[in-house]
Amino acid sequence: MTRRCELTGTLPLSGQLRSHAENKTKRKFRPNLHNVTLLSDALGRKVRLRISARALKSVEHRGGLDAFLLKAKNDELSAACLKLKRELQKAQAEKAA
């Protein structure tokens, strides 16, 4: 399993540790990933995702999982989130009709 956020697509970055003597040592900057359960209002069910803490703040800021997914770009989302987004769009279309 890759260390990738399912909502924002955040991946580990590489960099260097710098000592006082300016020695360089390779290191990784990994995203702060958490397993969370979010509620989808439109679908009426819970969804388990592995997302970063920053993505969780963004979901809360946008007003929930449904609003976040509908506004998110498709290339950033995981395959499971893309499927969930299509289900949301279908549920909204049925509700509007």
pLDDT in tens, 52-97: 999 999 999 999 999 999 999 999 999 999 999 999 999 999 988 8
The pTM score is 0.85
Residue 9 Ramachandran class (φ > 0 left, ψ -120 to 50 alpha, else beta): left
Residue 7 contacts residue 77 (beta carbons within 8 Å): yes
The first and second tokens of residue 71, run together, are 């506004």
Helices and strands in the chain, H and E counts? 3, 4
Q: Look up the CATH superfamily of 13-96.
A: Ribosomal protein L28/L24 (2.30.170.40)
